[in-house]
Amino acid sequence: MKKIAFLSIIFNFLFLIQNPLTAGELKISIGNSESLSSYKKAYFAGGCFWCMEESYDQVDGVLSSISGYSGGHLKNPKYEDVIYKDTGHVEVIEVTYNPLVVSYKDLLNVYWKNIDPFDASGQFCDKGKSYRSVIFFENNSQKELIDQSFKEIEKKFDKKIVTLVWKFDIFYPAENYHQDYYEKNFIRYLMYKNACKREETLKKIWN
């Protein structure tokens, strides 16, 4: 079995050299021998997509999380467009997951524990429209679960949530250097996250 697995890795490596993929395609192709048809996708905006990627990559049943942009009017936006122009887009992650292992409700719970649902100006030290917290739904089933989670959290805190809920339209993967940033630039990422007091703020809200 080990020999077969090794040969499979070599084959995938040679295939990728001859057939370069986009950032999103690359992340979900390596190490995946199962059919993607059984997997589902979910879209969340929680401020900096680097941080959201890190959070979802730790979840059992999540195949990949890809940084990108969604919610706006500009086609094929670049990072500079989203941050400095009025494109309507927010930083989003696309989560590909196995519903037999982790449910959409579980993903919602992960989402809430990694954002400040009471900040309408952005998230943590990142302020502006592109850093707003948004949950995107693709169907009525997702929308019902989102609405239920809103009720539960607002009841718990006795406070209105300002996180937005938008109908999903299209997702644009971000530039390659944004993908897996928390792993590829660990020290710089850690300095950024600590400066933003992200973990400190989350503990105050949810603990």
- Residues marked active site are found at 48
CA distances from 185 to 125, 177, 179, 190 (A): 19, 10, 10, 9
3-state secondary structure string across the chain: CHHHHHHHHHHHHHHHHHCCCCHHHHHHHCCCCCCHHHCEEEEEEECCHHHHHHHHHCCCCEEEEEEEEECCCCCCCCHHHHHHCCCCCEEEEEEEECCCCCCHHHHHHHHHCCCCCCCCCEECCEECHHHCEEEEECCHHHHHHHHHHHHHHHHHHCCCCCCEEEECCCEEECCHHHCCHHHHCHHHHHHHHHHCCHHHHHHHHHC
